[in-house]
Structure 1
Amino acid sequence: MQRSWEELRQSIKNLKYPDFARRQKLQGQVVAKVYIDSEGNVAKIQLLKTAHEVFNEEVFRTLTEEVTYKPATMNGKPVSSSLIVPVKFELK
């Protein structure tokens, strides 16, 4: 399944709040830089800002699900790209 950047943003909004973090009343923000190769595969994920490990793991899990992304294009050809993805975990 190929996922668009907009679908990625939507899945980030619907992340599962980790049970451990909910019980401990933990909150935090993770900022990830996602590198996508020209075939739409996640080539690398770099955490620019980390939070509790359970949040970091949930972001990695969501970004690396078994999907590919629609690669960016330049002059009509697919190219590698990157996107910064901020993820806020807040109890409501």
Structure 2
Amino acid sequence: MSRQSFLTILSLLGTLWLLAQCQPKNLDSTSTFDRPVYLVVDDSPTFPGGMSKLGEYIGKNLRYPETARKAGQEGKVFVTFIVSEQGRIEKAEILKGLGSELDAEAIRLIENMPAWTPAKQGGQVVACRYNLPINFSIHGSR
């Protein structure tokens, strides 16, 4: 390999490394140039009325699947979703599930939530990824 080729490759690798270092570390992988989706923000998105109202919403709207109840299936389903700049819930997905019925119920519950107060970063309203555990407990359900 010639000296010039070596220097060109070294320069290219240095440029790529520098670009990688400039990428914000607090952005979700679904971010685009036009629409960043943050993982860490100055002000987190909030459910209308706060965490206590979120608990009430889950308590009132969770429908424990009968076959899962009869099978004694319990635990937490971890759901991730994006709270948009307008507070809408988008792209709800299971991070860690308990089975198709409980997972589907957790997604249904999340997708039917009212709009949240969106996140803020640097004083600007932004889209933000949010993770939420949904607890399925037979003794705590109707």
Class of the TM-score when normalised by the shorter of the 2 chains:
0.7 to 0.9
How far apart are 1:66 and its partner, in Å? Answer: 6.0
Unaligned runs of 5+ in 2: 1-46
Which structure would you say has the larger RCO, counting Cα contacts within 8 Å and 6 or more residues apart? 1
TM-score (norm 2): 0.54
Larger Rg: 2
Find the counterpart in structure 1 of residue 117 from structure 2.
Answer: 70
How many pairs align? 89
The 2-side partners of 1:30 and 1:91 are apart by 14
How far apart are 1:46 and its partner, in Å? Answer: 2.4
Q: In structure 2, which of residues 97, 100, 103 is the aligned counterpart of residue 50 of structure 1?
A: 97
1:37 corresponds to 2:84:
yes
Report % sequence identity.
24
Find the counterpart in structure 1 of residue 64 from structure 2.
Answer: 17
Q: Pairwise CA RMSD of aligned residues?
A: 2.0
Indicate conservation of the 8 Å contact 2:80/2:92, yes or no.
Answer: yes
Q: In structure 2, which of residues 86, 108, 127 is the aligned counterpart of residue 61 of structure 1?
A: 108
* 1:61-86 deviation line (CA, Å, top 9, x unaligned): 11111632211123443211122101
TM-score (norm 1): 0.78
Unaligned runs of 5+ in 1: none
